[in-house]
């Protein structure tokens, strides 16, 4: 992976101390999304990683909401479909749902019951992994549909929060890491 390409992406991530609560350093990808060269570089890097890692992927599953910004262009590049995993009550038709704990309460995620077929190979994508609760819930949903989860893929990992440990045996990849 080119250090210059990675630097191009890293330079477009900005930090906001004490957001959303005191003591939290928020990593914002908005500048990355605004810069077409940096965003294309991000998708290039993720595409290169997936092509080198997996000979066959059936779907990219993106988490509500920033996984929706990264997942579709990545799926398009790979010539595969995109599956949305949304907050409860946002998807029509039969769904599978799972509740999970947040630092400040509970939340629920859903996926349409026919989103994937048993044995299909899926990569789950989001912008950031913090405590791992949302990503872990997404994995649970796809396991219920009997998908084969190849990897959980994020742009940013907050290492100190040890979210990847919640994913247990599921492979995990982050492009950028912060303490």
Active-site residue list: 66, 103
Q: Is 137 left (phi over 0), alpha (psi -120 to 50) or beta?
A: alpha
- Label the pairing between strands 105-112 and 81-87: antiparallel
Report the side by side order of strands in the sheet with 172-178: 95-102, 105-112, 81-87, 59-63, 121-129, 148-158, 172-178
Burial class of residue 7 (count of CB atoms within 10 Å of its CB; 0-12, 13-18, 19+): exposed
């Amino acid at each position: 992976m080119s250090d210059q390409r990675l630097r191009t992406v890293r330079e477009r991530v900005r930090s906001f101390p004490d957001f959303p609560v005191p003591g939290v350093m928020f990593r914002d990808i908005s500048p990355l999304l605004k810069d077409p060269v940096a965003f294309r570089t991000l998708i290039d890097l993720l595409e290169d990683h997936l092509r080198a890692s997996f000979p066959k992927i059936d779907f990219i599953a993106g988490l509500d909401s920033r996984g929706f910004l990264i997942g579709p262009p990545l799926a398009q590049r790979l010539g595969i479909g995109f599956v949305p995993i949304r907050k409860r009550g946002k998807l029509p038709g039969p769904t599978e749902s799972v509740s999970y704990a947040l630092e400040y309460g509970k939340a629920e995620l859903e996926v349409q019951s026919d989103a994937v077929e048993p044995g299909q190979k899926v990569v789950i994508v989001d912008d950031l992994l913090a405590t791992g609760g949302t990503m872990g819930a997404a994995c649970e949903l796809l396991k219920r549909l009997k998908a084969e989860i190849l990897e959980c893929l994020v742009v940013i990992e907050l290492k100190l929060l040890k979210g990847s440990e919640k994913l247990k045996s599921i492979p995990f990849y982050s492009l950028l890491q912060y303490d």
